[in-house]
Chains A and B, each alone.
Chain A
Amino acid sequence: DIQMTQSPSSLSASVGDRVTITCRASQDIRHYLAWYQQRPGKVPKLLIYAASTLQSGVPSRFSGSVSGTDFTLTISSLQPEDVATYYCQKYNAIPLAFGGGTKVEI
């Protein structure tokens, strides 16, 4: 099975900072990657699909990119409401695996 390695596992940044989270696939998954946000005590929310397409209603400070098998979620200017755990997920083939998560704090 293809493994999804997410890094870092946690980070602390200041309001207004640029934050970058990486997800590396052990094999080529093309653009079949999504990013989710899970605020504390809340349900996961889809942010980005197809590696870089912003889900409707998601603020434009969130963006996704890909280079080979390395996928990146960027928050251009961190806001207090962005405190959450972020997960990547591959969906090119079964199993539809999630990364281990990145906890973002302020």
Chain B
Amino acid sequence: EVQLVESGGGLVQPGRSLRLSCATSGFTFDDHAMHWVRQGSGKGLEWVAGISWNSDSPVYADSVKGRFTISRDNAKMSLFLQLDSLRTEDTALYYCARDRSAWYDAFDIWGQGTMVTVSS
């Protein structure tokens, strides 16, 4: 069974950092690009960052560029998101999502999400 399980969310003060993880199983991890997508409470979906199968040229939404860093460890079948200089507007449920392809395509598998709350 294909599974994506996020962890690392929590309550953090503005300006601080957090590191999210996504542990995967049930598929060949390095056959797929991976992404992070977030959703504020009662809001729509916002793509945050993506990384190709070989970690070449990670890409980011303008809203997080320079503050967030996406990475992956193919040996451990895991995806990561380092969140620095957090702002209150970064408060959201963060989903890990699998891309259909090795580069950028639609997202066919989603995790349950991990909640990030940025508040003083």
* A residues lining the B interface (CB < 8 Å): 1, 34, 36, 38, 43-46, 49-50, 55, 85, 87, 89, 91, 94-101
Contact = CB atoms under 8 A, between A and B. Distances in A.
Interface residues of B, number: 22
A89 B99 CA distance: 13
Contact of B113 (A43, A89, A101): A43
Contacts of A50: 106
Contacts, number: 58
B82 to A, nearest CB: 19
Contacts of A45: 110
Given A44-B95, A44-B110, A95-B61, A49 B45 contact: no
B33 to A, nearest CB: 10
A98 B110 contact: no
Interface in B46-67: 46-47, 50, 59, 61-62
B111 interface: yes
B44 interface: yes
Contacts of B100: 49
B53 to A, nearest CB: 16
B89 interface: no
A100 B43 CA distance: 9
22 contacts: A36-B45, A38-B45, A43-B95, A43-B111, A43-B112, A44-B45, A44-B95, A44-B97, A49-B105, A55-B108, A89-B106, A91-B104, A91-B105, A94-B59, A95-B47, A95-B62, A96-B50, A96-B104, A98-B37, A98-B46, A100-B44, A101-B45
A50 to B, nearest CB: 8
A90 B35 CA distance: 14
B38 to A, nearest CB: 11
Given A46-B107, A46-B108, A96-B35, A87 B62 contact: no
A97 B62 CA distance: 11
A96 B101 CA distance: 14
Contacts of B62: 1, 95
